Amino acid sequence: MTLVKVYVNYKKSILNPEAQAIHSALNRLGYSNISDVKLGKYFEITVDDDSKDIDSEINEICDKLLANVNMESYRYEIVEGANA
């Protein structure tokens, strides 16, 4: 099993009002040193070992479904031999 961690977040030009609400909540809690918060999505995907080209498959999955590339960007990490 190979574990793939996928991170999806909004592009810089896109507003993230939920993250802004969290940011201001943290400031209200007294964490005045926190200058920015981003809120995105995190996926853990387990892939069978017999998969040939994990990279192209993960890119395809992200482009098709996990991210809307119009507003979001993504990156991923492949964790070899992880006990997923």
Partner 1 sequence: MKFAILSFPGSNCEMDLYYAIKDIIKEDAELVSYKKDSLDGFDAVLVPGGFSYGDYLRSGAIARFSPIIKPLQKFAESGKPVLGICNGFQILTEAGLLPGSLQKNVSAKFICEPEKLVVNNNKTMFSNGYDFEQKITLPIAHGDGNYYADVKTLRELEENNQIVFKYWNNPNGSVANIAGIINKKGNVLGMMPHPERAVEDILGSSDGKGIFYSIVKTIKDRGVIYE
Which residues here bind partner 1, judged by CB under 8 A? Answer: 13-18, 20-21, 41, 65-66, 68, 70-71
Q: Which is nearer to partner 1, 21 or 82 (CB)?
A: 21
Instruction: Render 62-78 in DSSP notation, one character per residue.
Output: IIIII--TTTEEEEEEE
Min dist CB 66 to partner 1, Å, is 7
C-beta of 66 vs 79, nearer to partner 1: 66
Closest CB to partner 1 among residues 51, 68? 68
The DSSP output letter for 84 is -
Rounded-to-integer distance, Cα 37 and Cα 20, Å: 7
Dihedrals phi, psi of 18, to nearest 5 degrees: -65, -40
